[in-house]
Amino acid sequence: MKTNIALIGFMGTGKTVVGRRLAEVTGKDFLELDAVIAEKAGLSIPEIFRREGEAGFRQREAAAVAEAAGRRNTVIACGGGVVLATMNIVRLHESAEIVVLTAARQVILKRTRQDGATRPLLAGADPAMAVARLLAERRPLYRQAADVTVSTTRRTPDEVVLEIRRKLQV
């Protein structure tokens, strides 16, 4: 039986906030993959991108996914790019129900506006363009990976948690 819940979705869809709350109310452990990656590396996420490039970060991310998928009874909040490697999704599916959080593009832009310093992929001159491009590229991947999908547009984290629980019956 799958006892993990993996939260995936674009940057700014609330995976960390919702995941923490969901873990609290379901009595599961909480794991944020980016935090695990940063702690293991002894470097912040932007620093990993600077030193090792996106490819280096993706390798670390794949290793963190493999380890997290081996846990039980854990809410796993994944980074937005976790869908880029099919193997990550295969591994997560083995032990987790996969919940995709979505938000309207304008909402994502608003929520991530100040985040250039912490989100390397949005640190360029035109974050709106980056969001549009990445969203177009990833939407089909999120859709394909999803067991359930929950919109976070115009919803509080608690409302999102309720809908996840209703859809997953947890």
The SS3 call for residue 141 is helix
20-36: b (≥16 Cβ within 10 Å) or e: ebbbeebebebbbbbeb
Q: Which of residues 117-156 bind ligand S3P (CB under 6 A)?
A: 119-121
| Least CB distance to ligand S3P at residue 50 (A) | 12
Is the Cβ of residue 5 or residue 166 nearer to ligand S3P in the bound state?
A: 5
Is the Cβ of residue 81 or residue 164 nearer to ligand S3P in the bound state?
A: 81
How far is 143 from 16, CA to CA, in rounded Å?
A: 20
> Of these, 28, 34, 69, 88, which contacts ligand S3P (CB under 6 A)?
34
> Of these, 36, 81, 89, 164, which contacts ligand S3P (CB under 6 A)?
81
Site string for ligand S3P, 12-31 (x = CB under 6 A): ---x----------------
Tell me if 45 contacts ligand S3P by CB under 6 A: yes
Number of residues that bind ligand S3P (CB under 6 A): 10
Residue reference for tokens 């547009």: 153
| Least CB distance to ligand S3P at residue 121 (A) | 5
- Neighbouring CB atoms inside 10 A of 7's CB total 27
Of the candidate spans 18-26, 79-87, 89-97, 101-109, the one that interacts with ligand S3P by CB under 6 A turns out to be: 79-87
Return the closest-CA partner of residue 8 out of 74, 77, 73. Answer: 77
Interaction site with ligand S3P (CB under 6 A): 11, 15, 34, 45, 79-81, 119-121
